[in-house]
Amino acid sequence: MSDFLAMGGYAGYVWSSVAIFVGVLAIDFISPRLRRRRVLAELRGRARRQQRKSTENPTP
């Protein structure tokens, strides 16, 4: 097991590459969800403002 973890003397390069890959993969997974949440909140705010505007100034 320790031979596998040592990677023939290249463990620092291999495991840092794996860590960077997993980090980028996590960012790639989380980023769209955060963006979606932000966009939905902005759209809800716009809809509320539009609703208030239409109730304050009804068209005859």
Q: Token digits for 18?
A: 């794996």
Domain boundaries, the chain: 2-55
- The pLDDT of residue 3 is 84
In this structure, what DSSP letter does residue 8 have?
G
Q: 9: pLDDT confidence band, cut at 50, 70 and 90?
A: confident
Q: Identify the residue whose tokens are 């390069």.
A: 13
Q: How do residues 10-41 score in pLDDT, each as one tens digit?
A: 988 999 999 999 999 999 999 999 999 999 99
Global pTM exceeds 0.75:
no
In this structure, what DSSP letter does residue 10 have?
T
Longest dimension (CA), the chain: 81
Q: How do residues 36-53 score in pLDDT, each as one tens digit?
A: 999 999 999 999 999 998
- The pLDDT of residue 54 is 86
